[in-house]
Chain A
């Protein structure tokens, strides 16, 4: 029946075409670009592509919605025909037919033809003002207004919405360029927003325009005789409402870097690195022989490396704290694609070079690189101190030819070229770390020699006495105060036991335990013998006393068994085999043994301990006594922490990561506030109360844990606990040897 009806429809042949709804611009402007700074960046890129040498961004009355943002450039502008053919045509632009700008032969930064709709993300209205020179030498001025909110409504066909414009002749002296007036700003901007915008905008153009870039520009010039040398591109933010955010990254700061690392990939795909160290002044170079980066094209980078210690900033008019703040706010290694920043690489929180996770011990970095692993390595494992993102200020230049950016204008596609780029920079940073370890080895050795407070004060006094920066009229007063402080410190030092002395005391305690252990075993044997003797004469005991007698017998045997268990656990620390050879130890078993020493304590205080470590988890080769000591200290801390809480739980977890193993001790104690999480690893820093069974503690427990792990290049740190009921989470990491 249905078939019959269908057959009755007359045959018709024709053509269909797409119609575009006005909401498409909303899709492009709002949903593709999530960050307001990225939206502005898109507009700035258009200016760059139009051969502008300067762009100024004005923020006016933007603390509330309704304000205005003006983006003004001094580029070549657009004539009416260009506006009509390119600006007004979605997803197609002039960059399709040309790959370089006409004046400076800049490689175009955008290629998707949607960047300009980012304006829709920022304000309800856009007025475009362009002054451009025509082929005949005359100049014309264009004004076009887009009222996104009023004219571009959902359901309307985009191509049928009329856009009004005005085209007039401009005076000859009028400079060319485009000014975008983003009116009726949609969202309010506060200090944080402007701070972020400033950071993003100032970093948008490579802050370290290097000689290499100029050379690069000249090379390009050589290919096209019509191009003139690119004078560069600068960007300024003017925000009268936020005066503190105006300006640029201070050049002076760059001179305070410990070293400047540069890297480039040559035409054969070979990477070359160069490191200029500030003090002692020296330059070294390195080129890995077994790495091929030909997929990267002409990549290059420049990275400034900062060490945040006060001695590094002695010669500058800002101190280590200012530098650290700069590091926090502006640090990171950014990527510039054909001169323009690609977000979010190098932003705070972005770790595209995997520096922070390497520092956290989660992955291995430098040892992967053959040439580096064969270099002479300082014996104190300082080479493992890969810098954090906040210690690096850098820019990596890559060309669009090889790298592919996602349509959202944020991030590169995760292709082979990007992975190579990462490796190219990582090798450089690894080498930098190694060089730093080499150069600073002697200094660190010197610094490691214990310096007392009076010694430090003594040095400070002589420095102040010899400096000319402090006026002579106040110098004696400062010196006198410091002398007094030094005397007081000397007095206090006499009364205070040092870490080293405490370790000596503990070593004596260890020796005593060894002897006591020996003697205690004999006593224990006596207890068992007594039990057996009493058992032998049980038949002679009066019937009415038999019950009591048996209870005593039982108690004796109980004591014997419990004490023997305790002594056996001591073997983890004191047994000969525990100190003889390094072995790959089964962690679960050792934790089990150590936890056994607390069995009475746990029973007494109702503490539940769960050993969730996988049975096949092994340490790298280490002494059992060392692992035992680490576990002993962390468990003792947890025991003390939970014993006054209502919920008394401890759990040990563990697992493997790429370059080692980790252990986690979680407990339901009171927790450690973030500001104390580093302090507690210092000697004599304790927050535990005296414990009736475990004692008051030596104040060296976590310090010992830290030091033992550090011997193996490992680490110990407190982190935010993973969910309920945990309040404390200690993470221990031991790398593979």
Chain B
């Protein structure tokens, strides 16, 4: 497997014991990552030199203005450097690395600018990196690998992009409804990467994460993770570009596998109500049902977008967690469970206006898990 080269811009490279060198070391603990600490350039023309041997990924610290060894000091922040790099290397991923403390100190406009503009493809929190180095470096690696994959595709058309995702014909049709970034039938790497990561993989509908996949089949997350179940569902697993570490499954394939299984053992009915019994008949293994987070009873048929827990659709309200709402219509609608409405700090304004009047009614109900 190809080594991914990372250029890591950091102003605290060797000045502090746990600055850039520390994270460089953490990254280099990955077998396929090779991270190099780079001081921020005094003039941006220096970046042109990279053209000969560009890295596979840029990692940039937000704070770059501290004085470095030899008295070097720059007067810009990471965002400026990212814009310069993106202009020069439009097909390479650029990641922001910073600590929670720095983020908390940012004003609202600056924070929004950082995350709602396209110069950074991902945020790596130092705190999270230290707490979970394994997954963090794997995530960095997969981003580099995904960009690399897209970059190497010669024909930048829809067919090639959907092939990169591993979609079949039916799934391609669905993906087209998710507004792929095609301009005159062609795409560019950065936009395609953004679409795959922040639309296709982010919103449940075409692909499902483990909780959604389990709930779709009417079983608990633990049952879903059983090796026998995973073996049966192997052909539904997503192995396309940017495949996340926690896994994704094609919704339609899950349905097909479940229906086929039910048919084999002569069980009929909706997938989320028959998969358990069909699996039991065919494999002799009892699976736990998906319990609704509100009443604690089977069978949940949706996932609460606030708590990420299974819920019965009748025990949930429509919710718009994304501002602005970028969820394509082909994706599952977001719903918030009665449980979240009952006891959590959610935003009432994001509940569907037609259903908002039910909030108080729900909050005054007797908790069904206690009655």
A interface with B by C-beta (< 8 Å)? 517-522, 525-526, 528-530, 532-533, 536, 575-576, 583-586, 588-590, 615-616, 618, 624
Contacts and interface: CB of A to CB of B under 8 A. Distances in A.
Contacts of A583: 345, 347-348
B342 A525 contact: no
Nearest to A618: B363
A532 B343 contact: no
A521 B18 contact: no
Given A533-B18, A615-B367, A624-B345, 4 more contacts: A518-B105, A521-B99, A576-B108, A618-B363
6 contacts: A525-B18, A526-B17, A526-B18, A529-B130, A530-B17, A616-B363
How many B residues touch the partner, as a band? 20 to 34
A528 B128 CA distance: 10
Interface in B94-129: 99-102, 104-105, 108, 126-127
A518 B102 contact: yes
B210 interface: no
B208 to A, nearest CB: 29
A525 B343 contact: no
B292 to A, nearest CB: 16
Contacts of A521: 99-101, 104, 127
Contacts of A618: 363
B364 A529 contact: no
B38 interface: no
B131 interface: yes
Contact of B99 (A525, A616, A624): A525
Given A530-B18, A588-B343, A615-B343, A525 B367 contact: no
Contacts of A615: 342-343, 367
Contacts of B130: 525, 528-529, 532
B19 to A, nearest CB: 9
Contacts of A575: 104
Contacts of B17: 526, 529-530, 533
Contacts of B99: 521-522, 525
B127 A528 contact: yes
Nearest to B339: A615
B5 interface: no
A616 B101 contact: no
Contacts of A528: 127, 130-131
Contacts of B16: 526
A574 to B, nearest CB: 8
Contacts of B347: 583
B342 A616 contact: yes
A536 B126 CA distance: 18
Nearest to B131: A528
Interface in B178-220: none
Task: Please indicate which of the listed interface residues A520, A576, A585, A586 has the most CB atoms of chain B within 10 Å of its own CB.
Answer: A586
Contacts, number: 68
Task: Please indicate which of the listed interface residues A525, A528, A530 has the most CB atoms of chain B within 10 Å of its own CB.
Answer: A525
Nearest to B348: A584
A314 B348 CA distance: 53
B233 to A, nearest CB: 36
A522 B342 CA distance: 36
A587 B347 CA distance: 15
Nearest to A621: B348
B26 A518 contact: no
Nearest to B106: A576
Contacts of A530: 17-18
B321 interface: no
A525 B108 contact: no
A348 to B, nearest CB: 37
Interface string B6-48: 0000000000111000100110000000000000000000000
Contacts of B22: 529, 532-533
B133 interface: yes
B364 A532 contact: no
Contacts of A590: 345
Interface string B128-170: 0011010000000000000000000000000000000000000
A515 to B, nearest CB: 8
Contacts of A585: 345
A586 B345 CA distance: 6
A544 to B, nearest CB: 26
A585 B345 CA distance: 6
A618 B341 CA distance: 10
Return the 6 tightest CB-CB contacts between A and B, nearest first. Answer: A521-B101, A529-B18, A615-B343, A528-B130, A518-B101, A616-B342
A532 B26 contact: yes
A698 B26 CA distance: 45
Contacts of A588: 343
A517 B367 contact: no
A586 B101 contact: no
Contact of B343 (A519, A589, A624): A589
B128 to A, nearest CB: 10
A616 B25 CA distance: 47
Nearest to A589: B345
Interface in B325-362: 342-345, 347-348
Contacts of B127: 521, 525, 528
Task: Please indicate which of the listed interface residues B25, B130, B348, B365 has the most CB atoms of chain A within 10 Å of its own CB.
Answer: B130
Contacts of B131: 528
Contacts of B102: 518
A615 B345 CA distance: 11
A518 B104 CA distance: 7
Nearest to A528: B130
Interface string B75-109: 00000000000000000000000011110110010
Contacts of A624: 345
Nearest to A583: B345
A520 B367 CA distance: 41
B101 A589 contact: no
B370 to A, nearest CB: 9
A27 B97 CA distance: 89
A113 to B, nearest CB: 51
A616 B346 CA distance: 12
A517 B104 contact: yes
A451 B270 CA distance: 75
A517 B101 CA distance: 7
Nearest to B366: A616
Task: Please indicate which of the listed interface residues A517, A521, A530, A583 has the most CB atoms of chain B within 10 Å of its own CB.
Answer: A521
A586 B343 contact: yes
Contacts of A529: 17-18, 22, 130
A616 B367 contact: yes
A576 B127 CA distance: 19
A616 B348 contact: no
A532 B137 CA distance: 15
Contacts of B101: 517-522, 525
Contacts of B126: 525
Contacts of B367: 615-616
A532 B129 CA distance: 11
Contacts of B105: 518
A661 to B, nearest CB: 11
A299 B131 CA distance: 75
A134 B158 CA distance: 119
A628 to B, nearest CB: 12
B43 to A, nearest CB: 29
A407 B364 CA distance: 41
Nearest to A576: B108
Contacts of A616: 342-343, 363-365, 367
B100 A532 contact: no
Contacts of B345: 583, 585-586, 589-590, 624
Contacts of A589: 343-345
A79 to B, nearest CB: 68
A246 B78 CA distance: 89
A282 to B, nearest CB: 42
A283 to B, nearest CB: 43
B133 A532 contact: yes
A522 B125 CA distance: 12
A532 B364 CA distance: 48
